[in-house]
Structure 1
Amino acid sequence: MTVEQITKIAYDAIDDKLGQDISIINIGAVSSLCEYFIVATAGSQRQVKAIADNVEDELTKIGIEPRGKEGYESQTWILLDYGDIMVHIFNEEDRSFYNLEKLWKDAPYVDVDTLA
């Protein structure tokens, strides 16, 4: 399975739980940190956790486990590290504060429809 296919599965898992303002950023174009960041907003702490859980469940179904997980205690920003893909689920306030899109402004955005 390609990293693009895995990214699409993670995107769909976020979308299934009504994640908002979902962005896919091609970090690999400007850094060796990973290939893609997926960044999304949730309307509440409960939804932050529900989205993160759904991403983890859907990727586990295809045999992919996160290398690391952060933020489950606060549930305001959960990071799931899958090596080539990092999934960031924020509440609205934290997404605005950390503004990853501005931090990685040189990295191109990816349209989900172009992923295999």
Structure 2
Amino acid sequence: MNISKDMAKLTYKALDDKKAEDIKVIEIGDISVIADYFIIANGTNSSQVQALVDNVQQELSKHGYEPKRIEGVRSASWVLLDYGDVVVHIFSQEDRLFYDLERIWRDGKLVSKEQLED
């Protein structure tokens, strides 16, 4: 398995374990040099957003993956975890609707949970 797909799978599981809403994995490697995957999810409140961020960091760290950059932790309305090949966006419900990253990256390929397992 390639490293970025492994990170995406671990991230999905970490988000799912903490009941993130509407987890989307978008494969963007063919359309952008930014990353291989964008992962977008949201929490229902700032406490849950923080719990999602913490769980992703803990889970990936256990497997030797550390973020290159983290943005937005103080506000807990849009937190970006940049792992290089995988960029994780964890939003509040309102900010997710406002920024609508899925629309911006609609040329990317949506990847299902099952496809990550392959």
TM-score of the aligned structures, taking structure 2 as reference length: 0.95
Q: Which amino acid aligns with 1:11?
A: Y
Structure 1 vs Structure 2 CA RMSD: 0.9
Q: Which amino acid aligns with 1:100?
A: L
- Indicate the SS of the match to 1:95: helix
Conserved in 2, the CA contact under 8 Å of 1:29 and 1:108? no
- Indicate the SS of the match to 1:29: coil
Conserved in 2, the CA contact under 8 Å of 1:34 and 1:83? yes
CA separation in 2, counterparts of 1:69 and 1:2?
20
The corresponding residue for 2:78 is 77
The corresponding residue for 1:99 is 100
- Indicate the SS of the match to 1:25: strand
Misfit runs of 4+, over 6 Å: none
CA separation in 2, counterparts of 1:3 and 1:106?
19
Conserved in 2, the CA contact under 8 Å of 1:77 and 1:88? yes
CA separation in 1, counterparts of 2:80 and 2:21?
16
* Residue 20 of structure 1, CA deviation: 0.5
* Residue 61 of structure 1, CA deviation: 0.5
The corresponding residue for 1:12 is 13
Deviations 1:65-100 (A, max 9, x none): 000001111000110000000000000000000000
- Indicate the SS of the match to 2:109: coil
- Deviation larger for 51-60 or 106-115: 106-115
TM-score of the aligned structures, taking structure 1 as reference length: 0.97
> How many residues are matched?
116
Does residue 88 of structure 1 match 2:89?
yes
CA separation in 1, counterparts of 2:34 and 2:75?
25
Percent identity over the alignment is 46
CA separation in 1, counterparts of 2:95 and 2:4?
27
